[in-house]
Amino acid sequence: MLYLVFFLSGVSALLFETLWFRLAGLSLGNSVWASSVVLASFMAGLALGNGLAMRRGPRTQRPIRLYALLELAIGGAGLLLVLSFPGLTPALAPILQPLVDHPWLLNLVRLGIAFSLLVVPAAAMGATLPILVKALCADERTFGEALGQLYGWNTLGAVVGAVSGEVFLIQLVGLRGTGVVAAAVNVLAASCAMLVSRSRESSSTRPGVPRVGPDRLGRQLGPLLVAAFLCGANLLALEVVWFRFLQLFVLGTSLAFALMLAVVLLGIAAGSFLASTWLGRDHRADRYLPHVALGAAGLAALTYISFEPGPGAPWAAGTIAGAPRCA
């Protein structure tokens, strides 16, 4: 049931994220820099939510109930943003217009505005995963397995949200209607979580995973945090590069963007399920992480090398998906 709940959470999250990025473009600009600062603000909110969950989560005696409240907060704040963004455009234009000739200051102001608007729903989204992991972990050995399953189901839900919103929901009910649908999915996820909470936490609360901090990791903590930081920076940078690179070969429509995002999310979901299964069979599978990271880097480089024009390469002889060949 909790996997289904987190699947629904992923559906709602991508519906809201798609709407926020569309509407934020109207208020803050549709340039590459404007889109980047909105994305950075959203990711900063997620990081803030993770940090708050790390500090407060271990003290939570009823994590599933707290998760349900977070889902309600996401739905309420997310829908309020969707309804409010159109009215912000005339208010923000006088603030941003004088800064057009000062790009760095303009982007700094954009970052502050976007973070202020997205901080509540994004932070709530960021806190949901650690809270549910606590609810599913019987002991420390099951931590990786539970994390992989939850992240995998959540990412699969994100695929459904990204594709369904772009393919038919926005055309069918409009931007505001899609926001209402996303909020309704949050309410459904929260309701299901409350049912689980009543039947599970009222009788007995499963012990959460012991807090892993400096006292447990010692000297390993710093390098692990640096590695996690670099992995996150690399993944988001690659996503931006992939999307811009593929637009050389595929028409840059919103549907094409949604499909490219869905492919990336499917890959993340597959990796999450694979890692969960691997850790279920070998609790020390994390020792292979450097090899996996090195292999991923090699594959990423290989894909770009394979795009070099040559005899027989389809993109060297004409067009792909309706886009003209670029020199």
How many CB atoms are located within 10 Å of the residue 313 CB?
A: 11
Task: Sketch out the chain's domains with CATH numbers.
Answer: 2-209 (1.20.1250)
Q: pTM for the complete prediction?
A: 0.77
Residue 313, token pair as written in the block = 């390469």
Token look-up 């959540």 returns 154
Mean pLDDT (the chain, rounded): 79
**pLDDT tens digits, 252-300:** 666 777 788 888 888 888 888 888 888 878 877 778 888 888 888 888 8
Per-residue pLDDT at 74? 94
The residues, ordered by sequence, that sit 6+ positions from 60 with a Cβ below 8 Å of its Cβ are 66, 131, 134, 208
DSSP 169: I
Tell me the mean pLDDT per 10 residues along the chain, length 327.
Answer: 89 90 78 75 88 76 87 94 85 80 82 87 90 69 76 90 89 92 95 85 50 52 80 81 74 73 86 85 80 85 72 48 44
The whole-angstrom separation of Cα 316 and Cα 305 is: 14
| Radius of gyration, alpha carbons of the chain | 21
Per-residue pLDDT at 209? 45
Per-residue pLDDT at 77? 93
